[in-house]
Structure 1
Amino acid sequence: MRKRKWLYGMAAGAMLAGLLAGCGGNNNNGASSASPSPSSSPSESAPASAPASEPAKNVHLRLYTFGPELTYNWSQTLKAYEDANPGVKVEAVVLSDKGDTQEAMKKLDLAFASKEEIDVLMFSDPAGYAQRVSLGMAEPLDDFIAQDGGYKVAEEYKVDTTLNGKVYALPGKFNPWYVMLNKDHLDEAGLAVPTDWTWEEYADYAKRLTQGEGNTKRYGTYFHGPQGGGWMEFLKLKMMNQPTNSDFLKADGSSNLDDPNFKATLELRMKMEKEDQSSVPYTDIISQKLAYRNQFFNQSASMLTIGSWMNTEIGGTETLPLTFHVAVAPFPKNNAGDPVGYAPVTTDYTAVSSISKNKEEAYKFVRWYTTEGQLVQAKNVPSWSKVSNDQLTPIIDSILAGTTSPELVDKDSLIQTLLVSKASEMIPAASYQAEVYRAVNEEYEKLILGQQDVDATVKNSQERTQQIIEANKK
């Protein structure tokens, strides 16, 4: 209860500050409710069960989401649920028409602090999810899951949303990182589309794909980070393909920079940029403010390691048309004997609001939405592990149909990569995580700019991280 009172005060203060700055507003600004439209039938395979109970009567659920109608197809999705559950009305309160998650989370915090009638919450990233769980915004789902057959989230879904031994949300979409490949360049070099490969093999591919010199040079790969404490995935390349301990900090908030895979990632980046000269120089990325989409679609780089949010653009767009054949490969492994598929993953954390007056009905909707509802929505690849190849294909077809040249995409390689991909154990974000990211980023810049070697970079990163941890204990 103290956490909620603190949150109310925090949000009220934020609202006042926003008003004084002239940029605040009513928390309903930009929100909208989905309206009914024709829907498709839910999948007939392996339906997700719900706790047995009498049919609901006149239940109105309010779903607070950052996802706009265009990319989440709420009209069709919610109507399908309402048709299958007479007496239940689900209203989508869209907190950002342009899908701006930061704007949406600010409005969500204010709405919660104002005690609006919120039944279902959606969070866009693990840090935001963990933070709001700690503030008491999400209801634990363990009792509902126990009544619902006692399924294991780690088995039922490709993303395990367990936090501190409890489940507070179920995952919706499944966006693993993968490698986009210029297949024409691969064919020219006599290279096959990888289905299971290591970072050593990735580096070899990049070296063999690199051509030319100067302004017309074509690089084998492009790494879009780190930048200003962001895009830190590119300094964890050999950490994020592990089932556990995939970040700079451990679950208890202690440092994980003694993991040899952190040093190995630094060595990989140095080898590819300085020795092989197969990756776009860091100085060019920063000074020229390069964009990863342009680097790949303009064929300045043959490979791009990035998140599968690119599914909606992989076939080209009006701004960046696709003029070559593109294929997809899984996130590389460290060793040949490692399991294939572990990668950084983004998802929608769909939770029951702790202040909902309809918690059981809200859970039923969350369970449906993260299983059969994903197939009805047909806008994203589902996290639900029971989705088969046959079910995934029409979803991918629908996504690719929204691009300008879907025929140039190797759909089979895309589907197979998505099917084998899986998320590592989720690590709750520490309150000082951003400070650690900035510190490690700064030490990496000293390395890549020739001001210190790898060992000094590891040592300095460890020391600065420990100082940040100690400072935040006070």
Structure 2
Amino acid sequence: MNKKKLGAGIVSGVMLAGLLAGCGGGAATEQGKDNASGSAAGGKTTELRFYTYGTESAYSWKKTVAAYEEKNPGVKINVIGLSEKGDTQESLKKLDLAAASGEDMDILMFSDAASYAQRVSLGMVAPIDDYINKDGYKVGEEYKVDTKLNGKYYALPGKFNPWYVLLNKDQLDAAGLKVPTDWTWDDFADYAKKLSKGDGANKVYGTYFHGPQNGGWLDYVKLAMANQAENPEFIKADGSSNMDSPLFKKSLELRVKMEKEDKSAVPYSDMLSQKLNYRTQFYNQKASMILIGSWMNSELGGTEQTPLNFNIAVAPYPKNAAGDKGGYATVTTDYMAVAANSKHKDEAYKFIRWLTTDGALVQGKNIPSWSKVKSEDLGKIIDTILSSTKNPEKVDKDSLNRVMANSKASAIVPPVSYQAEVYKAVNEEFEKLILGKQDIDATVKASQDRVAQIIASNKK
């Protein structure tokens, strides 16, 4: 799944009842199912059950696990694949069933903050603060993603997928524009205006915003909020509304200016009516810049479905003001956790610590969240990722390396159970604005009122 929606994966009451009652049935495919309950005869080998949505092609588990087992001969990792397609929702259902049936678990892998936070609240995940303190590091310094929830750590971050801006370098060159290394939203809007050209069916827009849509892709309604170190969401970390943030209004103003005044962004109505997609808009050269997540790294050089016929460069997520600290952006990661019912918590922690550090380099499939990755190692991983694309030589690797090395995540805002309601309300008010049915001030006020009402009704 490319897009990770924070409101997705809400745990049902049925699942909760199953967890408490210990009923139900597990469903999973497993590599090395024999002796999965614990240790081999004589207690010489500790077997760990690792539940993951990640596929072999996306994560190279065989190679990675073999490397760990070679260094740790007393440990065997049984990889339990929860979805052949890497489908995160299918995986969560199977994971929940396995937990409800009381299966032995040691290591759990979550794809987004919502899945992670919800299962922590259900008691499926063990805190790992004691291990972290014993090892003597701070998660916020050791990794680019801080996984703290309610004052404790329950996971270490795996891959690192920050949002960034993809640029059609050929169109940039033709307009006499340089690849930005540090820029603001005003700069972004200026670039988009200068890159827009033509009319009608032949028009090339400076940018394309792929959302919001039906309560999803709300990233495009909080553009100026997402580059903050704290509280980048519509709901604050303490559960109160963040709709009175001036950065919410700034985000709306930017969208209106670029679409209505500058005519530099693909009209929202076109996106909906024509069911446009960010890949085709960019790779068909109908939009010179797109703001998107770096899951696109594996497609940057072009694929069978989206051939690359121009040169690509990468720019960082824009800042709100020139003096702001840069690098912050929406980030997706994998949350590597120790199961609460594990009988081998020490060994499980040791594995996730390795997997999120040196193991990530062995794996070589994703950019790690580990901040200690050397520039040459980062370059090698990027080379490996791009080598699977059709035209890696058309990608400006220097700009990609620079953005990936300097990006960092905002602090986690634990998702609320009614996140989807909030997204739907904000989506609806945004559409009234962008389709000309109400002005910005009315949109801000209506969004504030509706979100406050949703919060209040969910506290009853």
- Secondary structure of the structure 2 residue equivalent to 1:472: helix
Does structure 2 retain, via aligned residues, the 8 Å contact 1:351–1:366? yes
Q: 1:104 maps to what in 2?
A: 91
Is the 1:57–1:86 Cα contact (8 Å) retained in structure 2? no
After TM superposition, list the pairs within 5 Å mapping 1:324-473 onto structure 2.
Answer: 324-473=310-459
The answer for the alignment partner of 1:48 in structure 2 is: none
Aligned to 2:286: 300
In structure 2, the partner of 1:45 is: none
Q: 1:7, 1:135 within 8 Å by CA — same for their partners in 2?
A: no
Asked if 2 retains the 8 angstrom alpha-carbon contact of 1:182 and 1:326, the reply is: yes
Maintained 8 Å contact 2:159/2:367: yes
Q: Distance in 2 between matches of 1:195 and 1:222?
A: 20
Number of aligned residue pairs: give it.
440
2:17 to 4, 9, 15: 9
Q: Post-superposition shift, 1:340?
A: 1.3
Cα distance between partner residues in 1 of 2:292 and 2:32: 31
Residues 12-27 of structure 1: pairs in structure 2 closer than 5 A: 27=26
State how 1:33-432 maps to structure 2 within 5 Å: 33=31, 57-149=44-136, 151-432=137-418
Counterparts in 2 of 1:107 and 1:194: CA distance versus 1, 3 Å = same
What is the deviation of 1:127?
1.0
Secondary structure of the residue aligned to 2:30 is coil
Cα distance in 1 between the residues matched to 2:23 and 2:234: 33
Return the letter of the residue paired with 2:226: M
SS at match of 1:109: helix
How far did residue 216 of structure 1 move?
Answer: 1.2
Contact 2:21 2:100 in 1 (8 A): no
2:393 counterpart letter in structure 1: E
Residues in 2 aligned to 1:312 and 1:177: alpha-carbon distance in whole angstroms: 14
> Counterparts of 2:264 and 2:78 in 1: how far apart (Å)?
50
**Aligned-pair distance for 1:245?**
1.2
Identity %: 63
The one-letter amino acid paired with 1:87 is G
Check conservation: 1:284, 1:290, Cα contact below 8 A: yes
Is the alpha carbon distance of 1:444 and 1:15 closer, same or farther for their aligned partners in structure 2, counting shifts above 3 Å? farther
Cα pair 2:49 2:107 within 8 Å, conserved: yes
1:111-132 Cα deviation digits (max 9, x unpaired) = 1111111100001011111111
Distance in 2 between the 1:34 and 1:203 partners? Answer: 54
SS in 2 for 1:61: strand
Q: Runs in 1 of length 4+ with deviation above 2 angstroms?
A: 5-8, 10-16, 26-29
Aligned to 2:27: 28
Amino acid at match of 2:76: K
Q: 1:39 — aligned with what?
A: none
Q: Deviations over 1:150-187 (max 9, x none)?
A: x1000000000000110000000000000000000000
Residue type of the alignment partner of 1:138: V
1:442–1:13 distance in 2 versus 1, CA, 3 Å: farther
Check conservation: 2:82, 2:90, Cα contact below 8 A. yes
Displacement of 1:33 in angstroms is 1.7
Q: Is the 8 A contact 1:118 1:355 kept in 2?
A: yes
Report how far residue 57 of structure 1 moved: 3.1
In structure 1, list runs of 5 or more residues that go unmatched: 17-25, 36-55
Residues 308-351 of structure 1: CA distance to partner in whole angstroms, max 9, x if unpaired? 00000000001111000000000000000011110000000000
**Structure 2 contact 26–101 (Cα < 8 Å) conserved:** no
Preserved CA contact (<8 Å) 1:8 1:114 = no
Give the TM-score normalised by structure 1.
0.90
The one-letter code matched in structure 1 to 2:282 is F
- TM-score with structure 2 length normalisation? 0.93
From the superposition, tell whether residues 6 and 306 of structure 1 become closer, same or farther in structure 2 (CA, over 3 Å): same
Following superposition, the deviation at residue 89 of structure 1 comes to: 0.3
- Give me the whole-angstrom Cα distance separating, in 1, the residues matched to 2:440 and 2:309: 39
Q: 1:252, CA displacement in angstroms? A: 1.7
Cα distance, 1:73–1:201 mapped onto 2, change above 3 Å: same
AA aligned to 1:92 is V
> Which residues of structure 2 form unaligned runs of 5+?
1-10, 34-42
Contact (CA 8 Å) 1:444, 1:457: kept in 2 or not? yes
Residues 173-182 or 5-14, more deviating: 5-14
Q: Give per-residue Cα distances to partners, 1:208-266, cap 9 Å, x unaligned.
A: 00010111110000100000110000011000001011000001211000000000000
CA distance in 1, matches of 2:396, 2:270: 30
The AA in structure 2 aligned to 1:473 is K
Query: Structure 1 14/400 Cα, relative in aligned 2: closer, same or farther at 3 Å?
Result: farther
Distance 1:152 1:6, change over 3 A: farther
Equivalent residue number for residue 4 of structure 2: none
Native 8 Å contact 1:34 1:75 kept in 2: no
